[in-house]
Every structure is written in structure tokens, then in C-alpha cells.
Structure 1
Amino acid sequence: MSASLVVAPQWIGDAVMTEPLLRRLQARGERLTVGALPWVAPVYRAMPQVAEVIEFPFAHGGLQWTARRAMAERLRGRFDVAYVCPNSLKSALIPWWAGTPKRVGYRGEARLMVLNQRLPNPPAGERPPMVAFYSALSGEAGVAEDRPQLQLDSAVRAAALQAQGLQAQGYYVFAPGAEFGPAKRWPARHFASLAAQLSLPVVLLGSAKESALCGEIAAQAQAQGARGVIDLSGRTSLDQALALIAAARAMVSNDSGLMHVAAAFATPQVAVFGSSSPLHTPPLSAKAQVIWLKNDAAYQPPLDCAPCFQRECPLGHTRCLVDIRPERVLALL
């Protein structure tokens, strides 16, 4: 059995979409260790095929040479092969400095020396499905057909529910944030209106940076008579958030990392897309439903501007999201 290191992406959604790659590697006899930043490490602890998760103590931005050198020395000689998921130079430095014989990744950002098995990047302007992008690192065919899968220990799930006084299937989860920017966020007033029309409590999940947004939704929903709104933004670990999503009746979200988490747990969900495209990063689940006005023939005038992939709407109206009414999402739920 070969010992393999997987250098994980830094975003939750991307981490979820590497799961089919890891499943393929484990199935062919590789023992998997994942090196991940602390905020995505819980995703890999929900993948049974991962034997070990090492948390990389790095922050966003900067090469952080000293810390990476120290980590490389710690890992020296441990692995036969490394799969580098991110496209940056710094992500490929650790397996190179650690002396890992085979180092697999995509070309780009001066990685000619640090990688010795390099895949060609997709042509400029083309955005392939991300699961296929990561799974191609395995060197195997048929990667476009894979769907991510996450699993949680039942005791972990039960503890998270007990801590919030919730019952499995007895609440909805809303994930109203999107780290990329406001052009991916369904309006707060729409989330609030939807919450007020549901027959079960709503749990709001998000990071501390999304607390103001979640607080606004909670206040508006309660003013409209919602049956119960539990704002947990910035108050849960990612491990707890995973458990709450896995046990929910259903989830409503934007195109975000937590959207991919729900899909990997096969939690019923409605995903609202605006500036981004479900052709590139869809929720890969038979229980997922997507609303995207760009491909809605009944919506007029057509959204010729979508997908723009911008952080903020270049035209200032965010019509792609504003015009998705809460009643439409309610009907799908």
C-alpha cells in the first residue's frame, strides 16, 4: 500500500468536491493523509477513506516560507506520492521540500520544478465541473460521473442536535452567506419571507462575518411571524455545522461551500444561483434542486449578463437573484 499526501484546497466547497478523487485513490490501495487548513479540515474528517488529517497552520495569503519549511521537514520521507489540488506555487512547496518522489498537480504559477507529473490546465475562459477537475489528478477515466459523499458518526450528529435542542428532520437550515461576494447572495428579505412561511423552525448557519446578515434575516422573519429562527452564525464549529446540515429536513442556500456540504450528505436542498453557474459548480445530489433564472425560458427579459462571475453586480440591480421569489423556493421545498 502506497502512502499518499493530498494537499487540500482552501475553500469548503472545493474540499467537498475533492472527495471523489480521494475515494478513487483509496479504492486502488493508497493510504491517504490530507494536509488541510484548519477551516476545511472538518470536511476531511467526514470522509471515511481518509486515514489521517494534518492541519496546516497557515493563514490566507503570503508564502509563509518558515512555516512551510517546518511542515515539510515534519513530513520528510513519509509519502510515496503527493496530489496537489490547488493551483498555486506555495501549495506545491511542501511535498517538494519533503522529498516526496511523485508530485502530481496542474501546470501553472512556476510549478515546473516542484511538480514532476503535471496535467494541462483547461483552456482560458473554460470552467469545467470542479469534481472532474480534481478527480483527473487520479489519472483515471470517467471522473465526470463522480458525486461527493460525506459521512458523520451518529454520535457526532446526536451531540450537535442535543446542544441546540433540535430533533432530526425537525428544522430547516438556511445558509444565506457566500464568501465570494453579494452577487451570489439571495436577498435577506427573501430568506426572511420564506422562513415566515415554513411550518418548522429555521436554523441560520454562517461564519462570524455573516452574523449581521443572519441577524437581519432573523429579525425580519420573527417580525413576520416565523415559527422559530435560531441564529447560529459565528457560533458553531464547522464540525457542528456539518452535523446540523446532515440532520435537517432540507436546506436553502446560495452557491456556497455549505451548499456542497448538503449535497454530499444527500440532504434535500434548494440552491439559488445568481452571478455564478450551476454548470460549473452544481450541487451534485439527486435531492438537490437548482433555481437559476439564466436558463429559465419563461423569465423575461432574458439575463444576457449572466453568469458574470463578479463579486458585485456590474449593472447594480442583481436581478438574477432579486427576481427569484420566496414562493418559488417554498414550492420546491
Structure 2
Amino acid sequence: MNRSLVIAPQWIGDAVMTEPLMRRLQARGERLTVGALPWVAPVYRAMPQVAEVIEFPFAHGGLQWAGRRAMAKALRGRFDAAYVCPNSLKSALIPWWAGIPRCVGYSGESRWGLINQRLPNPPEGERPPMVAFYSALSGETGLAADRPQLQLAPGAAAAALAAQGLAAQGFYVLAPGAEFGPAKRWPAAHFAELARQLALPVLLLGSGKDAAVCAEIASTVNAHQLGHCVDLAGKTSLDEAIALIASAKAMVSNDSGLMHVAAAFGVPQVAVFGSSSPLHTPPLSDRATVLWLKNDPSYQPPLDCAPCFARDCPLGHTRCLNDIAPARVLSAL
């Protein structure tokens, strides 16, 4: 059996998009170890094809040469092949320093000497959907039909639900955050209005960066229905958040990493898109409904500015999100 190291992307959504690659590699007899940053490692623990997850103790930015050299030394002699998902120079350093004989990845960022089996990197505007982009590292064809699928470890759901005093399918999840910026976030007031109309308890999930918006939503909702909305932003591990999403009756989110987690579990969901495009990064699930005013012919005047892919609305109105009413999301849900 070939022993393979996969260097994971650094974003939750991208990590989910690599699951079909793991499935392809494992199906042809490769034993998979994934090297991942701590905030995406839990995604790989929800992939049964992955035999081992190694958490890389690195931070965003910087090459962190000493730490990568030490990690590479610890991994030397363990692997026959490496698959490098990110395009950065630093992501290819560990396989190279570890002396892994076959290293597969895309050409990019001056790493000609580090990747010995290179795929041409398509221009940004011509890149295929992310699942196909990552699955191409397998060297196989027929990638368009691949959809990510996650699976909880035994007991994970029970532990997460017990900690919140909830039963499976007995609550909704709202994920109001989006790492990229305000132009991807449906307004907090809209989330609060939606939460007030849901018949079951509501959990707000997100990272510590989402604490302010989640606190605002919870405060508004609980002022009318005490205890109806539970703010868990920054208060759960990603393992726990994944288990709660997988156990929810349904989920509403922006275009975010947690959106892709819900899709990979087949959870009914409504995904609200604003400045980004569901043509490139949709939730890949038959149980997902996407709301995007850009492709709504009944919305006037048309959103000629979308998708702008900006962090903040360049025109100052953020119509693409403000004009998606809570009643419309409730109806879709």
C-alpha cells in the first residue's frame, strides 16, 4: 500500500472541497495522512478515508522555516507520495525537506524545484470548480460529478448534543459569519428576524471573529423569546460545530466554510449569496437552496454590479444582501 501525505488547504470550505480527492486516492489503495492547520484539521477527522491527521503548528503568514524543517525531519521516510493542495511555496516545503520521492501539485509561486509532478495552474478566471481543481491532483478523469461527503465519528453527535441539552433534528443552526468581509454577510437584523420566526431553538455558530454579530442577533431574539437563541460563536471547537451542523434540522448561512460543511452532510440549508458567486462555490447538495438576487429576473433594478467579490460594497448600498427579506429565506427553508 502506498503511503501518501496530503497537504491541506488553509480554509474550511476548501478543505471540504478536497474530500472527493481523498475518496479517489483511498479507493486505489493509498493510505492517507493529512497535514493540516489546526482550524481545518477537524474537517479531515470527518473523512473516513483519512487514516491519520497531523496538525501543523503554524500560523497564517510567514514561512516559519524552523518549524517546517522540524516537521519535515519528523516525517522523513514515512511517505511514498505527497499531494500539495495549496499553490503557495511554503506548502511544498515540508514534502521537499522530508525527501518524499513523488510530489504532486500545481505550478505556482516559484516552486519549480519542489514539485516534481506539476499540473498547469489555470488562470484565476478560468479555474474549474474547486472540487474538480483539487480532484485533478489524482490524475484521474470524470471529476465534474464529484460531491464532498463528510461522516461523523461514532459518538461525536451524541457528545455535542448532550453538551447543549438538545436532540438531533430539534434545532436550527444559523451561521451569520463570513471570513472574507461584510459584503458576504446577510444583515444581522435579518438573521434575528428569521430566528424569531423559527419554531425550534436556534444555535448561532461561528468563530470568535463572529462574536459581535452573533451577540447582537442573540440579544435581539432573546429580548422577545428568552432562551430561544443560543450564541455559541467562539465557544465551540470546530469538531463540536461540525457535529451540531450534522445534527440540525436545517441551516441558514452566508457563503462560508460552514455552508460547505452542511452541504457535505446533506443537511437542508439555505445559502445566502451577496458579493460572491454560487456559479463558482455553490453548496454541493440537492438539499441546498441558494438565494442570489443577481440571477433573479423578478428583482429590479438588476444587480449589474454583482458579483463584485469585494470585502465591502464599492457602491455603499449592499443591495445584494439587504434586499433578501427574512420572509423569503423562511419560505425557502
TM-score, length of structure 1 as denominator length: 0.98
Aligned AA (1:99) = G
| Aligned counterparts, 1:311-326, within 5 A | 311-326=311-326
CA distance in 2, matches of 1:111, 1:144: 28
| Aligned counterparts, 1:103-142, within 5 A | 103-142=103-142
User: How far off is 1:156 after superposition?
Assistant: 1.1
Ranges of 4+ aligned residues in structure 1 off by more than 2 Å: 123-128, 222-227
What's the counterpart of residue 2 of structure 1? 2
Are the equivalent residues in 1 in contact too, given 2:127–2:133 (CA < 8 A)?
A: no
* RMSD, aligned α-carbons: 1.0
Residues 1:214 and 1:133: Cα distance change in structure 2 (over 3 Å): same
CA distance in 2, matches of 1:99, 1:211: 43
Deviations 1:150-191 (A, max 9, x none): 101341100100000011101000000001111100000000
Aligned AA (1:320) = C
User: How far off is 1:124 after superposition?
Assistant: 3.9
**Secondary structure of 2:194's aligned partner:** helix
Are the equivalent residues in 2 in contact too, given 1:17–1:131 (CA < 8 A)?
A: yes
| Aligned counterparts, 1:1-333, within 5 A | 1-225=1-225, 228-333=228-333
Deviations 1:203-223 (A, max 9, x none): 000111111110001111223
CA distance in 2, matches of 1:58, 1:107: 23
Aligned AA (1:300) = Q
Aligned AA (2:293) = L
TM-score, length of structure 2 as denominator length: 0.98
Are the equivalent residues in 2 in contact too, given 1:198–1:226 (CA < 8 A)?
A: no
**Secondary structure of 1:54's aligned partner:** strand
Deviations 1:70-124 (A, max 9, x none): 0011111111110000010000010011111111111110010000111111124
Aligned AA (1:286) = D
CA distance in 2, matches of 1:298, 1:154: 46
Q: How many residues align?
A: 333
User: How far off is 1:226 after superposition?
Assistant: 7.2
Residues 1:135 and 1:232: Cα distance change in structure 2 (over 3 Å): same
User: How far off is 1:52 after superposition?
Assistant: 0.5
Are the equivalent residues in 1 in contact too, given 2:12–2:40 (CA < 8 A)?
A: yes
Gaps of 5+ in 1: none
Gaps of 5+ in 2: none
Are the equivalent residues in 2 in contact too, given 1:199–1:227 (CA < 8 A)?
A: no
**Which piece of structure 1 moves more, 58-67 or 119-128?**
119-128
**Which piece of structure 1 moves more, 215-224 or 233-242?**
215-224
Are the equivalent residues in 1 in contact too, given 2:31–2:51 (CA < 8 A)?
A: yes
Aligned AA (1:223) = A
Aligned AA (2:31) = R
